[in-house]
Amino acid sequence: MADPEQRLWCPSGSAYAPESLVLAVREGLDGPPAYLPAPRPAAEALAELADGVEPRRLLRLASHCVPHCLNRAGDTCTLATRLTATASPRAGSPLPPCHLRPACKWWTQSGPPACRACPQVATRRSAPDR
């Protein structure tokens, strides 16, 4: 359990919060995440993106979990709840690499099932071409 005085992090966070970090780079637009050996400040990575690219299509970002988030219901992250209810990672499979785990909202709320499902989360998907 995380220290109650410690700020929890959302592994599906904002690109533009001052504390935002890049945890992974997606393999192509909306592809699976390739986790970085160490988190990188998001501001640095955002400066390198091509104009018009939604950051979360290429980057897996983390920022502080905030009470006004649309995925919150009281102290519960409803995104983590939905993720663990619908994702299909194998129980007992290794946990993905993660720099947030000790302070991750999803980990503190849902434990290993949330971690195993976390790489499957695509924060933003592009609309299909017509």
Q: Tokens 């950051």 sit at which residue?
A: 55
Question: Would you say residue 127 lies in a domain?
Answer: no
Closest CA to 23 of 95, 98, 94: 98
Question: Would you say residue 110 lies in a domain?
Answer: yes
Rounded Cα distance, 81 and 98, in Å: 19
Question: Would you say residue 3 lies in a domain?
Answer: no
What's the mean per-residue pLDDT of the chain?
A: 83
In this predicted structure, the answer to whether residue 125 has a pLDDT above a threshold of 50 is no
Mean pLDDT of all residues in 75-90: 84
More confident residue, 11 or 33: 11
Question: Would you say residue 1 lies in a domain?
Answer: no
Question: Would you say residue 115 lies in a domain?
Answer: yes
Angle (CA) 85 86 88, round 5°: 110
Question: Would you say residue 23 lies in a domain?
Answer: yes
Under 8 Å between Cβ of 107 and 12? no
> How large a percentage of the chain has pLDDT more than 90?
43
Which pLDDT score is estimated for 122? Answer: 64
Domain ranges, residue 94: 9-120
Q: Work out how many domains the chain is built from and give that number.
A: 1
Question: Would you say residue 36 lies in a domain?
Answer: yes
pTM of the model: 0.81
Among 5-14, 23-32, 74-83, top mean pLDDT goes to: 74-83
Question: Would you say residue 130 lies in a domain?
Answer: no
